[in-house]
C-alpha cells in the first residue's frame, strides 16, 4: 500500500466512529497534518519513507479508540432554543384549536341547535 493510501485508510477508520459527518473534513485535515508532522520527525531521525508512515500511524494510536474519543468531543449539540420555540408554538397552536373548538360548541348550544 502506498503512503497516501495508508494514511487515507487510517483516517477512514477513525471517521467511521464519528457520526457527525459535518466535522469529517476538519478532522481529516487535522489528522493528515499530525501524521505529516510525525513523519517529518521520524525522517529527521533517519527513518525511511515507508517506515516513517508506519511509525507515524502507530504513534497516532488505535483508529477505533481515537475515533470514539473524537466522536465524544464532536457530538452535535441540541439547539435548546429552537426546541423551546417549537414547543411554545405547538402549545399555542393546540391551545388555539381547543379554544376555537370550545367556542364553536358553546355557540351551537346558544343558537338552539
pLDDT in tens, 7-40: 999 999 999 999 889 999 999 999 999 999 999 9
Half-sphere exposure in the Cβ direction for 39 (13 Å, CA): 18
Per-domain residue ranges of the chain = 1-76, 78-113
Packing angle, helices 49-60 and 24-44, rounded to 10 = 130
pTM score = 0.66
Crossing angle of helices 49-60 and 3-16, in 10° steps, is: 10
pLDDT(108) > 70: no
The CA distance from 18 to 71, in Å, is 5
CA distance 4 to 12: 12
pLDDT for 76: 74
Contact in structure between 17 and 67 (CB atoms under 8 Å): yes
- pLDDT of 86 > 90? The answer is yes
Q: Residue 18 belongs to what H/E stretch?
A: none
The pLDDT of residue 112 is 52
Amino acid at each position: 500500500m502506498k503512503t497516501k493510501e495508508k494514511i487515507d485508510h487510517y483516517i477512514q477508520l477513525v471517521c467511521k466512529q464519528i457520526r457527525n459527518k459535518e466535522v469529517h473534513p476538519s478532522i481529516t485535515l487535522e489528522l493528515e497534518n499530525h501524521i505529516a508532522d510525525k513523519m517529518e520527525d521520524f525522517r529527521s531521525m533517519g527513518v525511511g519513507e515507508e517506515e516513517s508512515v508506519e511509525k507515524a500511524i502507530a504513534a497516532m494510536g488505535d483508529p477505533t479508540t481515537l475515533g470514539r474519543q473524537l466522536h465524544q468531543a464532536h457530538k452535535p449539540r441540541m439547539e435548546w432554543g429552537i426546541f423551546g420555540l417549537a414547543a411554545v408554538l405547538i402549545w399555542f397552536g393546540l391551545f388555539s384549536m381547543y379554544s376555537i373548538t370550545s367556542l364553536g360548541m358553546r355557540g351551537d348550544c346558544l343558537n338552539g341547535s
